[in-house]
Each structure stands twice: as C-alpha cells, then as structure tokens.
C-alpha cells in the first residue's frame, strides 16, 4: 500500500538511475551547525555531476521545492517538515588538486577544489605547500561552494579575492565555467547561489607565493583568534548579521545591552555579540525571536537596520 504522506514525485525520483543515496523524512539537525530544525521529505547525498544533472532536471520538470547545503554553517532551518528535496554534495565534489603544471595556466600556486570540500581542509592542504592568502578559511566551518556563494571572508580577506574561475551547473543539468571577472561579488554576496539556479560544482583559485613557516603562522593566528574571540565550542551559525558600513554588528548589539540575552534555549553569546548560540535544545522560533529582538533594539538605539548574514531555509528557484 502506498504511503499517503509520501509526495507523488518521490516514487518517480526513486526510479532514476542514481548512484547517490536518497533518504526520506531525514532529520536536518545534524546537517547544520546550529543543530536545530525539522526533517526533509527527501535528502540526497549527491556523489557526482551525472547524478546532479539528472536530479536538477527532475526538480525543474516537476517543480519541486529544493535547497542545497554544505555544512549548514550559515543556515537557519525551521523546525517544521521541509516539503521538498535537500541536496547535499559529497563524493567527487570533495576533490582537491594542484594545477601548477597545467599548461593552460601561466602562473603557479593554482588549486582546484570541489564545492563540498571543507574550508578547513582547503586551508590546511594549501598551507602545507607553503601557499598563502586563504588561511582565513581555517576559521570558517563551511565548504568551498558555500564560501564562494556567500563570498566568505575574515581577517581582511575574501574568497573572491583569490578565485580564478568557477564551474557551476544550471537547472537543465548543463555545466558552465565562468571567469572571476565575469561574476558579481560583494560583501557576503555572489550571484553564484543555488537560490538563483546556479549550483557551484568546483572552482579554481590562485594562491599567494609564501613559505611553509609564514603560512602556518598565519593560519594558526586565524585559528587562535576564533578560539579566543568566538564561541567555537557551542552550536551556532557563525556571524548572524552583516557588519554595516563603517561599523560592527557585534559592537552595536553589545552597546544595546543585548550581549548574553536569552530567549528560551537561545542566547546572544556572552563571548561575541554577533553570535547566537544554542544552549541545548533551542528551537528555530526561539532563534528567530532573538534575531528580531536584536534587530528591533539596535534600530531603536542606533537607527541602523542590521541585515542578516545567515540564510533561512527556503525554496530555491526552478531555473
């Protein structure tokens, strides 16, 4: 007997010739760094580009709500059921290789990385070669795809500063390669977002000529900064709000008397005011209530509207 709660498209999806694993009614708590959220009708661990092309074409044809996530380090997931498909890249999307001997490049220090490769892994492997510039990724608990999509940065550097080109797939399953100069990047923004129907599959970066000792020292400094200044040992999403021009969100929040404020099991971190931590079993409603309280209070005190840096899970476009 068919499951009445199972969406009709799921049966058809299960018939696709995929190597990737499909999971139904999968809890999303372990797929985000806040450790909160409900379940998804379907979560797919996509292991290769062939599968990704088939899935995206299927999503477009059947107009299914979907979202792509990496480590979920910049994401708020509601506690309700997600009525669609969550794409979680793995397998070949975790590739990393140097391209300094590739005849198509005239400079050294060239690295190719898959979208699902952890930022920490990218930083460690690059530094091991004595290549610098992107040591700041050691303190960002996300993936290369997410770092490009959000133009992640810290300590004066941004991902877009080192990007040479990005490979991405459209909703028809077609691959594209676009040079950095043809892409729009701003503070914590790029046009290469799943929400816009462009799924990053890999990217090529040019790193700085350095040496092992110097690069290791800078990476350790970035790591130490995170450990000293941020609540790295508590579930959070990283920075909740973007820094407004000429100021810092953390300063405005602390100046508004909100540092340490608690809403249920959610708290504005006493260590860093632009972090909201999960004290144990926080709900998405408690997180959102605290976010709104911070925005309203900062606006009342400083006439500044704090914009969200964290994304909220919502359906992406069909392309």
Catalytic residues: 188, 239, 309
Cα(63)–Cα(317) distance, rounded to whole angstroms?
9
First to last CA, the chain: 35
Residue 202 pairs with which residues in a beta bridge? 114, 167
Cα(307)–Cα(40) distance, rounded to whole angstroms?
27
What's the burial of 146, exposed, middle or buried (CB within 10 Å: 0-12/13-18/19+)?
A: buried
CB 74, CB 146: distance < 8 Å: yes
- Closest listed residue to residue 37, CA positions, set 77, 88, 81, 82: 77
What's the burial of 228, exposed, middle or buried (CB within 10 Å: 0-12/13-18/19+)?
A: exposed
* SS3 assignment, position 75: strand
Taking the C-alpha atoms of 310, 237, 294 and 231 in order, what is their torsion angle to the nearest 10 degrees? -150
């Amino acid at each position: 007997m068919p499951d009445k709660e199972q969406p009709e498209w799921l049966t058809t999806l299960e018939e696709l010739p995929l190597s990737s694993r499909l999971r139904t009614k999968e809890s999303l708590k372990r797929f985000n760094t806040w450790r909160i959220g409900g379940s998804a009708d379907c979560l797919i661990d996509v292991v290769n580009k062939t599968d990704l092309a088939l899935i995206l074409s299927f999503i477009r044809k059947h107009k299914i709500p979907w979202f792509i996530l990496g480590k979920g380090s910049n994401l708020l997931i509601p506690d309700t059921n997600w009525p669609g498909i969550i794409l979680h890249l793995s397998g070949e999307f975790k590739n990393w290789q140097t391209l300094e001997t590739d005849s198509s490049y005239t400079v050294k220090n060239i690295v190719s990385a898959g979208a699902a490769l952890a930022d920490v892994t990218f930083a460690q492997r690059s530094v091991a070669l004595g290549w610098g510039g992107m040591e700041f990724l050691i303190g960002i608990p996300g993936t290369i795809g997410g770092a490009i999509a959000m133009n992640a940065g810290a300590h004066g550097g941004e991902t877009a500063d080192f990007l040479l080109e990005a490979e991405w797939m459209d909703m028809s399953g077609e691959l594209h390669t676009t040079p950095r100069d043809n892409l729009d990047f701003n503070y914590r923004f790029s046009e290469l977002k799943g929400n816009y129907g462009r799924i990053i599959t890999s990217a090529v970066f040019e790193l700085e000529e350095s040496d092992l000792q110097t690069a290791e020292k800078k990476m350790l400094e970035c790591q130490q900064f995170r450990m000293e200044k941020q609540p790295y040992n508590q579930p959070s999403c990283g920075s909740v709000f973007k820094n407004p021009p000429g100021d810092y969100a953390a300063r405005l929040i602390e100046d508004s008397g909100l540092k340490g404020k608690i809403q249920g099991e959610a708290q504005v971190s006493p260590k860093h005011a632009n972090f909201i931590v999960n004290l144990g079993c926080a709900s998405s409603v408690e997180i959102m209530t605290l976010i709104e309280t911070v925005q309203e209070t900062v606006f009342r005190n400083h006439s500044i509207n704090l914009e969200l840096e964290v994304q909220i899970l919502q359906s992406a476009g069909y392309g």
